[in-house]
């Protein structure tokens, strides 16, 4: 089983705790994204798995084998760098062959394997080029080909798409996902781009300040985040505090939002901008302060008391309410409550 | 817009004019003098006699060989020390900042002072012998010895920091991700050095070797203080010819030969590096 099990991984740099008690099980063939803001420890976790950084403590097993004490060259892990790290003095084919040569694979087999993986990334006729003669997207694909040529049980991707422009990034994202599915290779992808993580990963690990905040499928994390951090990091959201009175949730401006669960006291709701409805009304509690036309969507900023909310509507019927319009707010029937540590 | 020929020449004048006036002209005058048509000393009319004397007299032939010897050997010794040193200096270690300051000291010490330092330390009865004597050890002859070990020590001592600086710079400009990528692909530290770092630092290494070689070719103070009685390098024979025999024709012929050796090395260097540029794609990131 080419799964990866990480248990109790910890790393400090001087007084700074980069990674605190990180544990994760990645199933065989699974695509997991480590998502978080810069400095959250996601890259440190990846470097510890690759063996470039030594953990203070913790265990790492890949395909049932403990690897945390091994030198990087003994770990047999494919790593694609953000900078691609292609060897500038070697041709594309020599770059891809490097890992196989290090393993003492016979020349004939190397040539066949290089041709095979270069074909996989659509660079079959670029083998004799030098990295600097390729575009950024092509270099990225060479880096990927070089990493998968050694047939690693685990593939690590460190922000592999962040140096590309938006259109190319989407294209390569789709190619990357298709290739990963086809090879069935267990993959850990490090990124700070939530849409990239959601588009690619089977499961997303949301990280902040060296610790895991939440783990789940992209859909689960987006629709029912347990924490405010996840709710706000994955797309935009409105956090609305609500008081429970007589079994009902009451918004600060007095609107009844729905039936309260068994809990009492103060609750926090996460309402996505696309779920918040606005309708113009003379006695509305909200005031539109800003309207932004985004092409596919229209975004309204609404002030209610001291809360600033965001509402988005899309489609041809999307109304554009001018700034200064008074509005009433409507909420979906299925409200989502944040479970943990929701203090603002 | 096309620039007229006259404008172009005018634009080129400061740069090219400087080179012609201060480099080309003296070299041309030296060449003419060496061919007997000089403005310094007696004008004999065109003759190859100075070159004939230079290449037929075994004293001068030995001088040429000796000049090459004290260029090649110190360069190789410097490289053997500077390369591992430059690699070591890439890593962090306690006291690195102090070491980085101290190791460059020989750069600012003039050659003649370096020669005196070697003499004081390594001559018979020098500091080293005094330190080693109570231990029952003695130094081999290092000053005015047959193998010119003192000359080699002094010249290498001068060149090592210079070479380390250039090679260290070349190594430091290689992105660390390359070494890490090679490691994850299965290369040991040593393999990373041979297959990634060394080829990428090669332009810097050859430049350092070349500059040190050319610098040693014309060395005068160090071999005259520390070198053997015989052979002497061409630079010393050149001085004797000009100032003791007033034979400027012979002296300039020697100067031209020394310059030709430097130019030949330079040409080989360009051939080598253009070959490498081809192999590395002309650019090393």
* Residue A90: pLDDT over 60: yes
A298 and A327 in a common domain: yes
Cβ partners under 8 Å of residue B38, min gap 6: B29, B32, B248, B249, B252
Confidence tier at B93 by pLDDT (50, 70, 90): confident
Q: Is A50 on the interface with B (CB under 8 A)?
A: yes
A26 and A124 in a common domain: yes
A255 and A219 in a common domain: no
pLDDT given at position B192: 95
The CA distance from B11 to B3, in Å, is 10
Return the CATH number of the domain spanning residue range B30-280.
1.10.3720.10
A200 and A159 in a common domain: yes
Q: Which of A71, A98, A130 sits opposite B281 (nearest CB)?
A: A130
pLDDT given at position A265: 79
Does residue A342 lie within any of the structural domains?
no
Confidence tier at A342 by pLDDT (50, 70, 90): very low
- Does residue A182 sit in helix, strand or coil? helix
Segment B43-61, tens digit of pLDDT: 778 888 889 999 999 999 9
A179 and A263 in a common domain: no
Q: Are B195 and B182 in contact (CB under 8 A)?
A: yes
Would the CB atoms of B175 and A72 count as touching at under 8 Å?
A: no
Confidence tier at B42 by pLDDT (50, 70, 90): low
Question: Considering Cα of A235, then A238, then A241, then A243, what sign does the dihedral take?
Answer: negative
A242 and A139 in a common domain: no
Segment B226-251, tens digit of pLDDT: 999 889 999 999 999 989 988 888 99
Would the CB atoms of A72 and B188 count as touching at under 8 Å?
A: no
> Looking at residue A197, which CATH number applies to its domain?
3.40.50.300
The whole domain housing A291 covers: 236-337
Q: Are A55 and A8 in contact (CB under 8 A)?
A: no
Does residue A273 lie within any of the structural domains?
yes
A109 and A51 in a common domain: yes
Please compute Rg for chain A using Cα positions.
24
* Residue A6: pLDDT over 80: yes
A227 and A242 in a common domain: no
* Residue A49: pLDDT over 60: yes
Residue of chain B minimizing CA distance to A77: B184
Q: Are A88 and B280 in contact (CB under 8 A)?
A: yes
A250 and A227 in a common domain: no
Predicted ipTM? Answer: 0.86
* Residue A344: pLDDT over 60: no
Final residue of a structural domain among A231, A258, A287: A231
Phi, psi angle pair for A333, to nearest 5°: -65, -35
Partners of B181 on chain A (C-beta within 8 Å) are 79, 81, 85-87, 146
Q: Which of B178, B184, B199 sits opposite A79 (nearest CB)?
A: B184
Confidence tier at A1 by pLDDT (50, 70, 90): low
Peptide bond into A53 cis (omega under 30): no
A200 and A180 in a common domain: yes
pLDDT given at position B282: 41
pLDDT given at position A263: 67
Please compute Rg for chain B using Cα positions.
23
pLDDT given at position A343: 45
Segment B168-225, tens digit of pLDDT: 999 999 999 999 999 999 999 999 999 999 999 998 999 899 999 988 988 999 999 9
B167 sits in which H/E element: helix B149-172
Final residue of a structural domain among A183, A208, A231: A231
* Tokens standing for residue A70: 């091994």
Place of tokens 């790393």: A11
The CA distance from B152 to B73, in Å, is 7
Final residue of a structural domain among A212, A231, A250: A231
pLDDT given at position B285: 35
Would the CB atoms of B175 and A51 count as touching at under 8 Å?
A: no
Does residue A43 lie within any of the structural domains?
yes
* Tokens standing for residue A282: 């003379």
Residue with the bigger pLDDT between A78 and B276: it is A78
Q: Is B284 on the interface with A (CB under 8 A)?
A: yes
CA–CA distances in Å: residue A329 to residues A228, A266, A282, A333, B88: 22, 20, 13, 13, 67
pLDDT given at position B275: 65
The CA distance from B177 to B175, in Å, is 5
Segment A192-238, tens digit of pLDDT: 999 999 999 999 999 999 999 999 999 999 999 999 999 999 989 99
Does residue A343 lie within any of the structural domains?
no
Partners of B281 on chain A (C-beta within 8 Å) are 88-89, 130-133
* Residue B3: pLDDT over 80: no
Partners of A72 on chain B (C-beta within 8 Å) are 180, 183-184
- Give, as one character, the DSSP assignment of residue B4: P
- Does residue B71 sit in helix, strand or coil? helix
Of A187, A190, A198, A138, which Cα lies nearest the Cα of A159?
A190
Query: What's the total number of domains in chain A?
Result: 2
| Buried b or exposed e, range B23-58, using 16+ CB within 10 angstroms | eeeeeeebbbbbbbebeebeeeeeeeebbeebeeee
* Residue A172: pLDDT over 70: yes
Neighbours of A174 (CB within 10 A): 12
- End-to-end, the C-alpha distance of chain B in Å comes to 36
> Looking at residue A272, which CATH number applies to its domain?
2.40.50.140
A166 and A100 in a common domain: yes
Of B64, B67, B76, which Cα lies nearest the Cα of B208?
B76
Q: Which of B180, B188, B281 sits opposite A85 (nearest CB)?
A: B180
A254 and A166 in a common domain: no
Segment A245-300, tens digit of pLDDT: 888 888 888 888 888 876 677 888 899 999 999 989 888 899 999 999 888 889 99
Nearest-neighbour CA in chain A from B270: distance (Å): 18
The CA distance from A74 to A64, in Å, is 15
Mean pLDDT computed over every residue of chain A = 91
* Tokens standing for residue B95: 């006291």
CA–CA distances in Å: residue A147 to residues A4, A80, A192, A238, B220: 17, 6, 22, 41, 56
The CA distance from A203 to A319, in Å, is 36
Q: Which residues pair with A208 in a beta bridge?
A: A211
CA–CA distances in Å: residue A227 to residues A8, A163, A266: 22, 30, 15
């Amino acid at each position: 089983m080419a799964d990866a099990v990480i248990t109790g991984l910890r790393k400090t740099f001087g007084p700074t705790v980069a990674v605190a008690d990180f544990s994760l099980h990645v199933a065989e063939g699974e695509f997991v994204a480590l998502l978080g803001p810069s400095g959250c420890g996601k890259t440190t976790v990846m470097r510890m798995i690759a063996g470039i950084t030594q953990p203070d403590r913790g265990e790492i097993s890949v395909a049932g084998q403990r690897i945390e004490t091994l030198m990087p060259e003994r770990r047999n892990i494919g790593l694609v760098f953000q900078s691609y790290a292609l060897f500038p003095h070697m041709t594309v084919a020599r770059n891809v062959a490097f890992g196989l040569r290090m393993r003492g694979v016979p020349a004939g087999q190397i040539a066949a394997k290089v041709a095979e993986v270069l074909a996989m990334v659509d660079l079959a006729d670029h083998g004799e080029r030098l990295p600097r003669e390729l575009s950024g997207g092509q270099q990225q694909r060479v880096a990927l080909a070089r990493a998968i040529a050694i047939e690693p049980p685990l593939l690590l991707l460190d922000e592999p798409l962040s140096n590309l422009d938006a259109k190319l990034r989407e294209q390569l994202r789709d190619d990357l996902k298709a290739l990963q599915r086809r090879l069935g290779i267990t993959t850990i992808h490090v990124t700070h781009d939530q849409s990239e993580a959601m588009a690619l990963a089977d499961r997303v690990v949301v990280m902040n300040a060296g610790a895991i905040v939440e783990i789940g499928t992209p859909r689960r994390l987006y629709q029912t985040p347990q924490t405010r951090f996840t709710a706000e990091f994955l797309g935009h959201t409105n956090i609305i505090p609500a008081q429970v009175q007589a079994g009902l949730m009451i918004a600060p401006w007095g609107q009844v939002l729905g039936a309260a669960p068994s809990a009492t006291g103060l609750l926090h709701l996460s309402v996505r901008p696309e779920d918040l409805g606005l309708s113009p009304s003379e006695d509305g509690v909200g005031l539109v302060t800003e309207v932004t036309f985004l092409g596919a969507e229209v975004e309204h900023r609404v002030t209610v008391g001291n809360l600033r909310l965001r509402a988005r509507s899309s489609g041809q019927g999307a109304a554009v309410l001018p700034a200064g319009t008074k509005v009433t707010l409507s909420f979906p029937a299925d409200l989502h409550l944040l479970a943990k540590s929701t203090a603002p | 817009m096309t620039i007229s020929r006259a404008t172009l020449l005018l634009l080129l004048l400061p740069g090219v004019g400087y080179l012609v006036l201060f480099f080309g002209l003296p070299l041309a005058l030296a060449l003419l003098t060496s061919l007997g048509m000089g403005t310094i000393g007696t004008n004999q009319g065109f003759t190859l006699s100075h070159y004939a004397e230079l290449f037929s007299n075994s004293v001068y032939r030995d001088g040429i060989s000796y000049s090459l010897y004290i260029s090649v050997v110190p360069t190789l010794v410097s490289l053997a020390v500077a390369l591992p040193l430059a690699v070591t200096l890439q890593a962090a270690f306690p006291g690195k900042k102090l070491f980085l300051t101290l190791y460059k000291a020989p750069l600012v010490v003039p050659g003649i002072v370096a020669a005196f330092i070697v003499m004081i330390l390594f001559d018979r009865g020098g500091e080293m012998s005094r330190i080693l004597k109570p231990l029952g050890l003695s130094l081999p002859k290092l000053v005015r010895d047959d193998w010119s070990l003192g000359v080699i020590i002094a010249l290498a001592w001068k060149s090592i920091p210079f070479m380390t600086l250039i090679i260290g710079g070349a190594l430091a400009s290689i992105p660390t991700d390359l070494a890490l990528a090679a490691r994850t692909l299965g290369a040991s530290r040593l393999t990373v050095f041979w297959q990634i770092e060394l080829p990428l630092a090669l332009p810097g290494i050859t430049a350092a070797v070349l500059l040190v070689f050319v610098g040693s070719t014309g060395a005068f103070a160090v071999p005259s203080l520390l070198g053997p009685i015989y052979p002497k390098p061409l630079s010393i024979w050149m001085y004797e010819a000009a100032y003791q025999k007033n034979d400027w024709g012979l002296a300039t012929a020697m100067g031209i030969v020394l310059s030709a050796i430097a130019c030949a090395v330079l040409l080989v260097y360009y051939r080598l590096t253009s070959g490498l540029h081809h192999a590395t794609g002309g650019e090393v990131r």
